Chains A and B, each alone.
Chain A
Amino acid sequence: MTRASPTGPASLSCDVLVVGAGAAGVAAAVAAGRAGARVVLVERYGFLGGLASAAQVGAACGLYLRDPSSSTPRPVAGGFVGEYACRLQRAAGAEPLRLERGLWVLPLPIAVFGSVADALLRECGNITVALHTTVAGAQTEGARVVRVHALAWNQPLSLRPATVVDGSGEGTVAGLAGATVENGAGDQGPALVFSLEQVESGLTECGLIEVRRELRRAVENGSLPPLCEGLALIPGTNCHGRMDLKLNLPPASPDRPLWQQLTCWERDARALVLRLHRFLVENTATCRRARLASIAPQIGLRSGSRIQGRARLEEEDVLKSRKSALGVARGCWPMERWGNAARPDMAFFDERDYYEIALDCLRPAGLDNLFAAGRCFSAGAAAMTSARVIGTALATGWAAGTAAAFQALGRPLDQALETIRRQMNQ
């Protein structure tokens, strides 16, 4: 499978190339591997899990149906999403947590998402993982991606896939291959997660109320910027004297190049977290002895570029819980948009219900052998505020990986559709 050349870049050929080892990419790689394809999974970081790991997302959303009347969570679908949720639960030693309005989340301690991903990928036996590998180019012939150029650490790596799953979160491969991608960076604001330890245990439960009150006072008297009021507790993390907090940031400005915006977000938010920590120690009983235990290596982006697909998930599909005969993934999280306000705008659909995402939402117009999964499949900005969560990313990843494997192995996509739908109903 591997050929090292003394004169040119190393090259890898495979049935399915998966770009990005976040929730969608891992699900896609496992799906393709279990379907019998030879898979290469490339990831730009030195660890698995994508933003769930890099941005220290502390809770997995979109795994369970919303149900205010039940004390037991009900998985949104069977198949791989249910399997991953069970394995996460076992590895984390955590139970699903019920929030307001009957929403359920699964708390995710740091590193658990990546370790479960690693175990699943190893079990397949036919998946080659390339970490520290960044995709930089794509070559097409007609409507097919035939070659993807990457830098593996600092060495050129040429990838020759039969099919590709773009799980980059940004439609990176689709864009490099000439497909139309929509820039959604300004749709939602990102957040920077950080952890405090040695928070007063007796006060932790409602400690954030005191924190917010002091922040409001400081913002009103001008000693802290208004941004500080966008501080939120990650559900399920306020125990054993530890709190994981996220500092919500305003959406990207459309007038600014994205690389510049990202750099500012990263630098300014990190500086602000240090200032916030000092403020909390000096001004709140809850945090008077708190230690800043960690700051996530990357800000958590909630929106990015999306492909223009053969079909598109729209706001109405979400709010009316629409099903589709071509449905390959289910979404159950409400629309949750983080804009300039300190709290998100929420729009709920019916309790105990879900919407379906059609296979054609994962297929870019103009490219026949590429499937997009996770945050970069084809959807309107509002619909993606629901579909961006981990549970739905796992589901679209599984669907994209299965479809890509079937196509690479010369099996009809109708069969892939049937297989995926059967698995969802298990």
Chain B
Amino acid sequence: MTPPQDTKTIAEQLCQFARTNFVAEGTAFDEHSPLAETGIDSFALFELLLYGERTFGVRVPPSHLTRGNLASVATIACCMAELAGSGRQSPLDCKPGSCERDPP
């Protein structure tokens, strides 16, 4: 298990994974791209999330699997960093506590 990393590092690795596996060549894609509009279907979204969980040693609980948290690589990275306890300020402008969760 990799020790917790900052939001920017998580986002970079998630972006790289998405580009390599799911994003069509020539499609503009960065951490803020809305995933639904860049060819990331529900299967790909699951693989992206699982890759992040396994790489960064976090588990996103069902209550955090909201549309807001899964909107882009940046929002997933914010959520993962916060869950890993390392949601410090980063160029992604990820505010601590910005990770959504459904009410219990």
> Which of B36, B49, B102 interacts with A203 by CB under 8 Å?
B102
Per-residue 0/1 for B6-50: is the Cβ within 8 Å of any A Cβ (1 yes, 0 no)?
000000000000000000000000000000111111111110011
Closest to B64 in A: A206
Decide yes or no: A207 and B40 within 8 Å by CB, A213-B50, A216-B50 being known contacts.
no
Q: Does B78 contact A (CB under 8 A)?
A: no
Question: How many chain-B residues does the 8 Å CB contact rule pick out?
Answer: 22
Cα separation A212 to B70 with both chains bound (whole Å): 15
With A100-B36, A202-B102: A207-B41 Cβ-Cβ less than 8 Å: no
Complex formed: what's the CA distance from A209 to B70 in Å?
10
B65 at the interface (CB under 8 A from A): yes
The size of the chain A interface, using a CB distance under 8 A, is 22
> When A and B form their complex, what is the total count of cross-chain residue pairs whose Cβ atoms lie within 8 Å?
51
Contacts of B103 in A (CB 8 A): 202
A202-B102, A284-B62, A285-B62 as given contacts; A209 in contact with B45, CB under 8 Å: yes
Q: How far is the CA of A202 from the CA of B104 in the complex (A)?
A: 9
Q: Which secondary structure dominates chain B's binding surface?
A: helix
Alpha-carbon distance between A282 and B44 when the two chains are bound, in angstroms: 25
* With A68-B37, A100-B36, A202-B103 as contacts: A208 and B42 at CB distance below 8 Å: yes
The answer to whether B43 touches A343 (Cβ under 8 A) is yes
- Give Cα distance in the complex from A210 to B41, angstroms: 15
Interchain nearest-CB distance for A235 vs B (Å): 9
Pair A100/B50 contact, Cβ less than 8 Å: no
Cβ of A102 to closest chain B Cβ, rounded Å: 8
Is there an interface contact between B42 and A233, defined as CB atoms closer than 8 Å?
A: yes
CB pair B39 A210 closer than 8 Å: no
Which 8 residue pairs spanning A and B have beta carbons closest together? A343-B43, A206-B65, A285-B62, A212-B46, A202-B102, A210-B62, A209-B65, A100-B41
